[in-house]
Chain A
Amino acid sequence: MDFELAPQVVRYRERVREIIAAHHTPEAVQHQHASGTFNNPALNRALAAEGLVERAVPGLGAGDPIELWVLFNEMEKAGAPLDALAMAVMIAGVVQHVGTAEQKAAVIPAVTAGDALICLGYSEADAGSDLSSLTTRATRAGDQWVINGAKMWTTMAHEARWVILLARTDASLPRHRGLTMFLLPMDTPGVRVDPVHTMATERTNATFYDDVRVGDDCVLGEVNGGWQVMSVALSFERGVMGGTNPGVALLRHSAQWAHDSGRINEPAVREKLARVAIDNHVAALLTQRSAWIAASGGMPGLEGSMTKLFASEAYQQASRWFQEMAGAEGLLQLLQPGAAADGWIEYDARHSPVTTIYGGTSEIIRNNIAERHLGLPRMRR
């Protein structure tokens, strides 16, 4: 095995780091926590201005997939908000793959300029892990589609220019075959966004679609081919667009707390620091492996989910360890005097629960590994 990065990748990484350092400022972080919107438009634009976003677009950019991995891994390690940009970049790749010439012309330059965000309209109130049971409908009316339904967890919908919306277009077909993906401008009449506030400050949304009328130009991919479009999106994600190294920022904060509090010399603290350092390192190697598999023409879907499973479970455990070690100071939030690591210990403990839920729950991932990797019988339901 050879773990060395090519020189141009090292240069790309250095430049990404410099830009993150310049734009991921304490003021930007404070603004994100005050507004609940975890996105840094100045950072996105600065990366885009040098073509670093375009290089990373899956299936399009010259740097995909290695630089795609580097870009989002660096953002994640720095603690910079990345999900908004990651969704836009991933969907730009999907549009490049299955979109019409008009869709490409509209979406790709807007995303690679770091301007436009795209949110994901997949989950519904009653369709989460069992996504293909979704009930949002698009029915034909002349040469138009009329969409009715509601989506949950449409994070960034209040800032996004488009939503990609998975809707049922043929109820007579088996569940996952009668679905169509729409690429819908968020300012289309009939689209409503309601905030959903979360325990971790971050705002997400519920979005509602009441008699939303659009033409065929808003169909992304084939009619009744929505599940395949979603598979393309998943295949582009490959577990390299963030979500596999949340423990790096946690460890930085925990080491800061250990130094500031004078607890750094306690063996119990040092042992936990070392454990988290190992887990973080392994998570990074597994992520790098996914990028390498993709670069070698493979499809690291399962490897990506194994990485997410390991990294999110380890992060959750670590966030609990350090909050417990910090004791009462570990309860104090950002900007509160005396808060452990300026409140980051508390924040990680509050944020970590979502990481084993979104992007595929740990249970769904374990089902997939058991059936598709270990070859165990389809589970007894």
Chain B
Amino acid sequence: MQLAFSADQQVLAEAFGQFFSRESPTSVVRRAEPLGFDAPLWSALGAMEVWGSDATLSDLCVIGETAGHALAPVPFAEHVVVSRLLAWPALLSADSVGTISPRTANAQGIWSIVPAGAIADIVVGLDGDEFVAATSPAPFAGPANHACAPLADRDSRTGERSVIGNRHDFERAMSELKVIAASMLVGVAALALEMGVEYVQQRHQFGVPIGSFQTVQHGLADLPGRIDGARLLTHQAAQALDLGRVGHNVVANNEITDPHSLASMALLFASDIAADATARSLHFHGGYGFSDEYDIQLAYRRARGWALVLGDPTAERLALANRLWPSAVRP
């Protein structure tokens, strides 16, 4: 048992924490809007040799948290998942960008509102029961959206198309995406808390820092335990996927070891705390928090955008319920 980062993971966290704070300050995040992709940052990240390394999913979650903490405008989670899945040289060299569509293609073969769909040339996803990879040029354009994320609709039936697996393989890839996304949302939540704590100590009203008011303190004090919980759950899910065990759920005794259940729980809990932490922190910034000029709004919008593009949390909770109480699934 080791419920903190291992020594190696601490090194990773430090190295990538430094990398992203150097290469992805909020000026870079802003520069990348509205598309939500920064090519120089992407190249620099490629030089860090993440893709194609033998890093475990747990290690990638350590890195993912640092990317989230920097609100990095790169498709970290999506590209990690597709690189691990296909291991194509163009993905490992980052000459190509990979992504996965959480939604099944519609009757016309269109994947709608694909995360990183605006910038990826390799898109994987379900078309019917087939898990396919479709390669076609990235549009580098997409609908204006809440998070300034590179979203776009993509066609699963144009360009080079290959079948890479079945629905089961897709579920596995989606679980990996959920876990990495959860780690990034933990980073967003931690960033929001830091921003809030810093601001309420600087901002004076009634002659004292607003951070000395109990209502403000209590609004922030709820957060660190939940952020820690989200990080633990994310890493437990990552370890479960890394170990590749089937797992089992005995909910009555609070034992959940099925990796897919854990991945779903990690995404839901991390999304929730990221949404909450950014909302509270923005609120404690007062009117300035609502202004474009302050950075907390960048975190607020990504907390929602990065989570909701993977799906509606209510639907995710219902899918989780089907895993936890399978005998009661509606016929």
Q: Which residues of A contact B (CB under 8 A)?
A: 1-6, 66, 77, 245, 248, 251-252, 255, 258-259, 264-265, 267, 270-271, 273-275, 277-278, 280-286, 288-289, 292-293, 295, 303, 306-307, 309-310, 313, 363, 365-367, 369-371, 373-380
Tell me whether B80 is interfacial, beta carbon within 8 Å. no
Give the residue name and chain of the B residue nearest to A308 (CB).
Answer: B225
A271 surroundings in chain B (CB, below 8 A): 314, 317-318, 321
Tell me whether B228 is interfacial, beta carbon within 8 Å. yes
Assess the A376–B220 pair: CB atoms within 8 A: yes
Please pick, from A251, A306, A375, the residue contacting B197 in the complex, using a CB distance under 8 A. A375
Assess the B213–A380 pair: CB atoms within 8 A: yes
Assess the B220–A286 pair: CB atoms within 8 A: no
A371 to B200, CA, bound (A): 13
B22 surroundings in chain A (CB, below 8 A): none
B230 surroundings in chain A (CB, below 8 A): 282
Given contacts A293-B3, A369-B224, contact A273 B209 (CB under 8 A): no
A172 to B217, CA, bound (A): 34
Assess the A282–B232 pair: CB atoms within 8 A: yes
Given contacts A376-B212, A377-B201, contact A1 B3 (CB under 8 A): yes
A265 surroundings in chain B (CB, below 8 A): 328, 330
Give the residue name and chain of the B residue nearest to A365 (CB).
Answer: B221
A303 to B225, CA, bound (A): 7
| Nearest Cβ on chain B to A329's Cβ, whole angstroms | 19
Please pick, from B201, B225, B269, the residue contacting A307 in the complex, using a CB distance under 8 A. B225
Assess the A286–B232 pair: CB atoms within 8 A: yes
Q: How many A-B residue pairs have CB under 8 A?
A: 171
- A-binding segment of B104-112, B153-161, B167-175, B246-254: B246-254
Q: In the complex, which residues 224-242 of chain B have their Cβ closer than 8 Å to any Cβ of chain A?
A: 224-226, 228-230, 232-233, 235-236, 239
Q: In the complex, which residues 187-233 of chain B have their Cβ closer than 8 Å to any Cβ of chain A?
A: 193, 197, 200-201, 208-209, 211-214, 217-218, 220-222, 224-226, 228-230, 232-233
Given contacts A2-B239, A77-B254, contact A292 B221 (CB under 8 A): no
Please pick, from A66, A264, A309, the residue contacting B325 in the complex, using a CB distance under 8 A. A264
Tell me whether B320 is interfacial, beta carbon within 8 Å. yes
List 18 contacting pairs A-B, 8 Å CB cutoff, sorted by A.
A1-B3, A1-B5, A2-B6, A251-B252, A252-B252, A259-B328, A264-B328, A270-B328, A271-B317, A271-B321, A277-B320, A278-B269, A282-B229, A289-B3, A309-B221, A373-B224, A374-B193, A374-B217
Assess the A285–B225 pair: CB atoms within 8 A: no
A273 to B320, CA, bound (A): 10
Give the residue name and chain of the A residue nearest to B240 (CB).
Answer: A3
| Nearest Cβ on chain A to B59's Cβ, whole angstroms | 11
A363 to B222, CA, bound (A): 10
A255 surroundings in chain B (CB, below 8 A): 251-252, 325
Please pick, from B4, B256, B317, the residue contacting A281 in the complex, using a CB distance under 8 A. B256
A330 to B6, CA, bound (A): 47
Assess the A377–B229 pair: CB atoms within 8 A: no
Assess the B221–A366 pair: CB atoms within 8 A: yes
Assess the A270–B321 pair: CB atoms within 8 A: yes
A377 to B211, CA, bound (A): 7
A380 to B206, CA, bound (A): 11
| Nearest Cβ on chain B to A345's Cβ, whole angstroms | 16
Give the residue name and chain of the A residue nearest to B328 (CB).
Answer: A264
A373 to B220, CA, bound (A): 11
Given contacts A292-B1, A376-B212, contact A310 B218 (CB under 8 A): no
| Nearest Cβ on chain A to B61's Cβ, whole angstroms | 9
B4 surroundings in chain A (CB, below 8 A): 1, 292
Given contacts A1-B236, A271-B321, A275-B317, contact A380 B208 (CB under 8 A): yes
Assess the B221–A370 pair: CB atoms within 8 A: yes
Interface flags for B4-26 (1: CB within 8 Å of A; 0: not) read: 11100100000000000000000
A66 surroundings in chain B (CB, below 8 A): 1
A275 to B214, CA, bound (A): 29
B253 surroundings in chain A (CB, below 8 A): 77, 248
Give the residue name and chain of the A residue nearest to B262 (CB).
Answer: A281
Assess the A374–B224 pair: CB atoms within 8 A: yes
B197 surroundings in chain A (CB, below 8 A): 374-376
Tell me whether B66 is interfacial, beta carbon within 8 Å. no
A277 to B258, CA, bound (A): 13
Please pick, from A248, A267, A369, the residue contacting B221 in the complex, using a CB distance under 8 A. A369
A277 to B317, CA, bound (A): 10
| Nearest Cβ on chain A to B316's Cβ, whole angstroms | 9
The 6 closest A-B pairs by CB, nearest first: A306-B225, A370-B217, A366-B221, A282-B229, A270-B321, A369-B221
B278 surroundings in chain A (CB, below 8 A): none
A363 surroundings in chain B (CB, below 8 A): 218
A380 surroundings in chain B (CB, below 8 A): 208, 212-214
Give the residue name and chain of the A residue nearest to B220 (CB).
Answer: A374
A283 surroundings in chain B (CB, below 8 A): 229
B119 surroundings in chain A (CB, below 8 A): none
B200 surroundings in chain A (CB, below 8 A): 376
Tell me whether B97 is interfacial, beta carbon within 8 Å. no
Name the residue among B226, B229, B320 with the largest chain A CB count within 10 angstroms.
B229
Given contacts A271-B318, A274-B320, A378-B212, contact A245 B221 (CB under 8 A): no
Given contacts A248-B253, A271-B321, A367-B217, contact A377 B209 (CB under 8 A): yes
Assess the B251–A1 pair: CB atoms within 8 A: no
| Nearest Cβ on chain A to B314's Cβ, whole angstroms | 6
Assess the B226–A310 pair: CB atoms within 8 A: yes
A281 surroundings in chain B (CB, below 8 A): 233, 254, 256, 265
Assess the B229–A379 pair: CB atoms within 8 A: no
B314 surroundings in chain A (CB, below 8 A): 267, 271
B217 surroundings in chain A (CB, below 8 A): 366-367, 370-371, 374, 376, 379
Name the residue among B209, B268, B318 with the largest chain A CB count within 10 angstroms.
B318
| Nearest Cβ on chain B to A154's Cβ, whole angstroms | 30
Tell me whether B324 is interfacial, beta carbon within 8 Å. yes
| Nearest Cβ on chain B to A127's Cβ, whole angstroms | 20
A270 to B326, CA, bound (A): 11
Tell me whether B58 is interfacial, beta carbon within 8 Å. yes
| Nearest Cβ on chain A to B250's Cβ, whole angstroms | 10
B254 surroundings in chain A (CB, below 8 A): 77, 245, 248, 251, 280-281, 284
Please pick, from B218, B318, B328, the residue contacting A366 in the complex, using a CB distance under 8 A. B218
| Nearest Cβ on chain B to A252's Cβ, whole angstroms | 5
A379 surroundings in chain B (CB, below 8 A): 212-214, 217
A59 to B197, CA, bound (A): 36
